[in-house]
């Protein structure tokens, strides 16, 4: 007999974890709805033709691929096998597992664009799968929570995202966080003014690591990648310690004054800052971070990233504006902006900082102890009355020893137990035990329900 096990990088969520996870999901969902986003769910299985080529070469490798059902070898020749697994894969696997929520969303928009109302605002809370090497805080199956608006390039959308992030983290009691914001156009402007307009990707892959490896290593990498000393020298303002947003804006306008696209980026962010203030939100938790690049490849405007303070955990949210997400499916020039929240990391932050509210367990409020058949018969209609009054209630299914039943209530965190023995049946005065204080009191059936409902 083999002991059953879970695949690496996957997890079961038992009752206690589920309650905490649902608290996070509910808070996010409620906020998304309050801002006019509507729910969408896409299937776990997508055609690999939809997924492949959208996440870079590494992403293609990390996609979980599903073996065609039936005889998948039917049309396979020995020669196909000899060509190696990469060429064989598309011949025996047509489908894969959802890798993120963005590409399926783009597919959905393209397939349904005739019926959708634009600007289309949707949210999506679903698991995704990546064949990454599992490690602490990195799973192969994990949830993403995304909200996107497509069909408008209005900066109001960016403003709304910043407001939503504030509301979500307030709802979760995560009060120490920083929303880092940049703009792809600023990054392009920097590339322009230091004279490496064609080498943006290499530049920003290196800069993105600044936090982790420091200035010297970044400069080393840039040099290896062929940036001239002159270019690297011109890059120095990027390494200036961050002070206030106002100062960063001023320095940036000075630095990028000869780059049209760079100045456009600055202007967009100044508008964003102004709208955020107009909304009544202080910019204390917002930081203009010109070293923020994130999946630079498809962002075209604002770039967002959120870090929680007081913990050593990576970013808990990220997103940005993209202008060509649906282009891969034949619909160009549909601008959108979105934000993605990492539930698993948010969970870890809240655990570490002990931010989960107490008494959140979805549990029974009232347990009817079970002494004998007579008590059971007496309890059954009462049990239903309690439930009809909205009280989560259960009757212990067997007439076991009272200690065992109280232990059950204790372990399940049930706050009240009602004891119904022959004496209680005769008098109509039931014994209600408060499991928190240990106190017992006599109550009638009616009073019991009034008390707990």
Query: Vertex 43, ends 40 and 46: CA angle to 5°?
Result: 130
- Smallest separation (angstroms) from its own copies to the CB of 319: 16
**Per-position x/- string for 364-383, each x denoting binding to its own copies as judged by CB under 8 A, each - no binding:** x--x--------xx--xx-x
Q: Which stretch binds its own copies (CB under 8 A): 153-161, 192-200, 209-217, 415-423?
A: 153-161
Binding its own copies by CB under 8 A: which of 113, 138, 152, 208? 152
- Smallest separation (angstroms) from its own copies to the CB of 321: 13
Q: For residue 58, what are the contacts with CB-CB under 8 A and spacing of at least 6? A: none
**130 appears as a binding residue in the annotation:** yes
Whole-number Cα distances in Å, 378 to 28, 373, 382, 422? 44, 9, 7, 10
Q: Which helix (H) or strand (E) holds 250?
A: helix 245-255
Binding its own copies by CB under 8 A: which of 91, 113, 154, 245? 154
Q: Which helix (H) or strand (E) holds 104?
A: helix 102-112
| Site membership for its own copies, residue 417 (CB under 8 A) | no
Residues 62-121 that bind its own copies (CB under 8 A): 62, 64-67, 69-74, 76, 78, 81, 84-85, 88-89, 92-95, 97, 107-108, 110-112, 117, 119, 121
Rounded Cα distance between 178 and 305, Å, is 8
**323 appears as a binding residue in the annotation:** no
**101 appears as a binding residue in the annotation:** yes
Residues 318-347 that bind its own copies (CB under 8 A): 329-330
| Site membership for its own copies, residue 285 (CB under 8 A) | no
**254 appears as a binding residue in the annotation:** no
Q: Is 64 helix (H, G, I), strand (E, B) or coil?
A: coil
Rounded Cα distance between 385 and 446, Å, is 9
CA 138 to chain centre: 13
**184 appears as a binding residue in the annotation:** no
The residue (of 48 and 174) whose beta carbon lies closer to its own copies is 48
Q: For residue 253, what are the contacts with CB-CB under 8 A and spacing of at least 6? A: 263, 266
**291 appears as a binding residue in the annotation:** no
| Site membership for its own copies, residue 360 (CB under 8 A) | no
Residues 386-415 that bind its own copies (CB under 8 A): 387, 390-395, 397-398, 408, 411-412
Burial class (CB in 10 A: 0-12, 13-18, 19+), 313: middle
The residue (of 323 and 394) whose beta carbon lies closer to its own copies is 394
**Per-position x/- string for 34-63, each x denoting binding to its own copies as judged by CB under 8 A, each - no binding:** xxx-xxxxxxxxxx-xx----------xx-
The residue (of 7 and 198) whose beta carbon lies closer to its own copies is 7
- Smallest separation (angstroms) from its own copies to the CB of 196: 32
| 129: β partners | 141
The residue (of 211 and 446) whose beta carbon lies closer to its own copies is 446
- Smallest separation (angstroms) from its own copies to the CB of 231: 38
Q: What are the φ and ψ backbone dihedral angles of 395, each rounded to 5 degrees?
A: -110, 125
Binding its own copies by CB under 8 A: which of 135, 243, 278, 359? 278
**148 appears as a binding residue in the annotation:** yes
Binding its own copies by CB under 8 A: which of 113, 134, 138, 156? 156
Rounded Cα distance between 190 and 196, Å, is 9
Secondary structure E strands in 132-283: 141-150, 177-183
Rounded Cα distance between 157 and 50, Å, is 27
Q: Which stretch binds its own copies (CB under 8 A): 173-181, 192-200, 207-215, 274-282?
A: 274-282
Secondary structure E strands in 289-439: 302-308, 317-322, 336-342, 366-368, 393-395, 416-419, 430-434
Q: What are the φ and ψ backbone dihedral angles of 372, each rounded to 5 degrees?
A: -165, 180
- Smallest separation (angstroms) from its own copies to the CB of 102: 14
CA-based radius of gyration for the chain: 29
The conformation of residue 431, written as its DSSP 8-state character, comes to E
Q: Which stretch binds its own copies (CB under 8 A): 172-180, 245-253, 271-279, 314-322?
A: 271-279
**140 appears as a binding residue in the annotation:** no
Rounded Cα distance between 194 and 215, Å, is 17
**299 appears as a binding residue in the annotation:** yes
Binding-site members for L-histidine are: 100-102, 130, 144, 148, 294, 298-299
């Amino acid at each position: 007999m083999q002991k059953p096990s879970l695949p690496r990088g996957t997890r079961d969520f038992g009752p206690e974890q589920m309650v905490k996870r649902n608290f996070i999901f509910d808070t996010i969902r409620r906020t998304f709805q309050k801002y006019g986003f509507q729910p969408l769910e896409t299937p776990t299985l997508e055609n690999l033709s939809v997924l492949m080529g959208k996440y870079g070469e590494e992403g293609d490798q990390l996609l979980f691929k599903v073996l065609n059902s039936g005889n998948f070898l039917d049309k396979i020749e020995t020669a196909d096998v000899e060509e190696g697994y990469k060429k064989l894969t598309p011949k025996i696997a047509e489908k894969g597992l959802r890798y993120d929520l963005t590409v399926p969303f783009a597919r959905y928009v393209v397939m349904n664009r005739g019926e959708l109302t634009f600007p289309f605002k949707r949210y999506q809370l679903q698991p995704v799968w990546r064949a990454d090497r599992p490690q602490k805080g990195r799973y192969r199956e994990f949830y993403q929570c995304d909200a996107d608006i497509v069909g408008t390039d209005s900066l109001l959308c960016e403003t709304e995202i910043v407001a939503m992030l504030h509301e979500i983290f307030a709802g979760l009691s995560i009060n120490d966080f920083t929303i880092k914001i940049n703009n792809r156009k600023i990054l392009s402007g920097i590339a322009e003014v230091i004279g490496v307009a064609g080498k943006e990707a290499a530049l920003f892959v290196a800069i993105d690591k600044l936090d982790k490896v420091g200035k010297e290593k970044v400069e080393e990498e840039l040099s290896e990648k062929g940036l001239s000393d002159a270019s690297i020298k011109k890059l120095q303002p990027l390494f200036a310690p961050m002070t206030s947003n106002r100062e960063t804006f001023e320095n940036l306008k000075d630095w990028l004054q000869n780059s049209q696209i760079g100045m456009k980026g600055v202007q967009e962010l100044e508008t964003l800052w102004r709208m955020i203030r107009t909304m009544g939100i202080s910019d204390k938790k917002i930081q203009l971070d010109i070293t923020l690049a994130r999946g630079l490849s498809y962002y075209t405007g604002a770039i967002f990233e959120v870090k929680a303070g007081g913990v050593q955990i990576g970013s808990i949210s990220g997103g940005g504006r993209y202008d060509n997400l649906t282009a891969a499916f034949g619909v160009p020039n549909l601008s959108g902006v979105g934000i993605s929240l990492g539930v698993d990391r948010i969970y870890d932050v809240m655990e570490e900082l002990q931010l989960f509210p107490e008494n959140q367990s979805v549990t029974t409020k009232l347990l009817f102890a079970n002494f004998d058949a007579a008590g059971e018969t007496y309890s059954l209609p009462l049990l239903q009355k309690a439930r009809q009054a909205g009280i989560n209630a259960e009757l212990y299914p067997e007439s076991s020893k009272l200690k065992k039943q109280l232990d059950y209530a204790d372990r399940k965190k049930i706050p009240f137990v009602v004891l119904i023995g022959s004496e209680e049946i005769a008098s109509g005065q039931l014994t209600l035990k408060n499991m928190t204080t240990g106190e017992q009191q006599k109550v009638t059936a009616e009073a019991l329900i009034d008390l707990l409902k």
